[in-house]
Amino acid sequence: MNSSSLSRRDWIRNMSCLTLGATLLTSRNVHSGGSHSDALLPLEKIGLQLYTVRDLLSADFDSALRLIADIGYRELEFAGYHYQEIQHVGALLQELQLSAPSAHVGLDTVKQRLDEAIKTASLLGHRHLVLPWLMEDQRQTMRQYEALARTLNQAGATCRSAGIELGYHNHDFEFQPLEGKLPYDVLLEQTDPDLVKMELDLYWITKAGYSATDYFDKHPGRFTQCHVKDMGSNGDIVDVGQGTINFAALIPAAKAAGVKHFYAENDNPHNPETAIRASYRALAGT
């Protein structure tokens, strides 16, 4: 990761300011034996999680979005707006024929500034707001996860009344047993399926040693979005199609379970442009 990159922790710390500023301006998984880019089923509409290109967006927001559109991506999931005026972001999306079905928002925003996030979502066409991360001190006990479930249910009801779907994005820590239970299972059990959906990160569940397909099969309709990133033989994140995760099996299973949006992502790419080009080619089957 470049020294100029924001870590996920730093991003969450800054998210409250980003959202406020914007609104004020208005292993059990299925694996193959190696690289298998030729086995990927092409997606009809390929999305990108913009956290992958945060450095490019910070340096030149407009040029970064133009690059993304030129590569062929058509759907975006935002992770902050890089202090851009929301009206400008909306106009640029329209010009480039990009849609933004989803955005990540921090827990502080979910708890304290949800109305502002919903307002921004309505302006940019977000239909999903997703909690992407829990700080370490927010996930020490099962009681914290149970309280989170209550918070998500309440926020989910507020979002639904505004025509927005609230979601939760996982890492691997939700699949580490805590007090004899998996926190991810507790969140599934204690949140209302009509109010809280799940955005399954296919890399992180695989990294944790669990099967995405099993969760799709057991909870149809619960998953509406996915993060698509690949895992190298050493367990690190690699560009889609350059690792061992069998997306040719996972993507049809995800679609059958109700997933509508797939976002390529690489948390810490060595070269963001190279990463998004490689992942696009793999998901497009080219």
Determine the pLDDT at residue 22: 41
**166 burial level (CB within 10 Å; 0-12, 13-18, 19+):** buried
Decide which of 37 and 199 is more confident: 199
Determine the pLDDT at residue 40: 55
Q: What is the pLDDT of residues 110-133, one digit of tens each?
A: 999 999 999 999 999 999 999 999
96: domain CATH number?
3.20.20.150
Q: What is the CA radius of gyration of the chain?
A: 18
Angle, to 10 degrees, between the axis of helix 114-124 and the axis of helix 86-96?
Answer: 30
Q: What is the pLDDT of residues 45-80, one digit of tens each?
A: 999 999 999 999 999 999 999 999 999 999 999 999
Closest C-alpha among 148, 166, 147 to residue 158: 166
pLDDT-derived band at 43, boundaries 50, 70, 90:
confident
CA distances for 141 relative to 136, 155, 263, angstroms: 10, 21, 30
Angle, to 10 degrees, between the axis of helix 142-161 and the axis of helix 114-124?
Answer: 50
pLDDT of 12 > 80? The answer is no
Does any domain span residue 274?
A: yes
Q: Three-class SS string for 158-178?
A: HHHHCCCEEEEECCCHHHCCE
Q: What is the percent of the chain with per-residue pLDDT over 70, rounded to a whole number?
A: 86
Cα gap 128→252, rounded to integer Å: 22
Decide which of 15 and 144 is more confident: 144
Cα gap 231→146, rounded to integer Å: 31
* H or E element in which residue 129 lies: strand 128-131
Determine the pLDDT at residue 47: 98
**201: containing domain:** 8-284
Mean pLDDT to the nearest integer, 178-201: 98
pLDDT-derived band at 44, boundaries 50, 70, 90:
confident
Decide which of 195 and 5 is more confident: 195
User: Residue 45 CA to chain centroid, in angstroms?
Assistant: 16
Number of domains in the chain: 1
pTM to 2 decimal places: 0.88
- The answer to whether the CB of 227 falls within 8 A of the CB of 201 is yes
pLDDT of 174 > 90? The answer is yes
Closest C-alpha among 207, 208, 251 to residue 228: 251
pLDDT of 182 > 70? The answer is yes
Does any domain span residue 2?
A: no
- The answer to whether the CB of 79 falls within 8 A of the CB of 132 is yes
Determine the pLDDT at residue 25: 37
Cα gap 245→32, rounded to integer Å: 6
Cα gap 172→247, rounded to integer Å: 19
CA distances for 210 relative to 49, 60, 169, 174, 217, angstroms: 23, 38, 15, 11, 13
* Per-position b or e across 201-237, b if 16+ CB within 10 A of its CB: bbbbbbbbebbbbebbeeeeebbbbbbbbbbeeeeeb
Handedness of CA 213, 217, 218, 219 (dihedral sign): positive
- For the chain, give the mean pLDDT: 90
Cα gap 20→75, rounded to integer Å: 24
The dihedral over CA atoms of 186, 188, 194, 200, expressed in degrees to the nearest 10, equals: 140
pLDDT-derived band at 41, boundaries 50, 70, 90:
low
Cα gap 93→76, rounded to integer Å: 10
25-29, 171-175, 236-240: least confident range: 25-29
Q: What is the percent of the chain with per-residue pLDDT over 90, rounded to a whole number?
A: 84
pLDDT of 11 > 60? The answer is no
pLDDT of 17 > 70? The answer is no
List the Cα angle 270/272/277 in 5-degree steps.
Answer: 115
Does any domain span residue 3?
A: no
Beta pairing partners, 169: 199
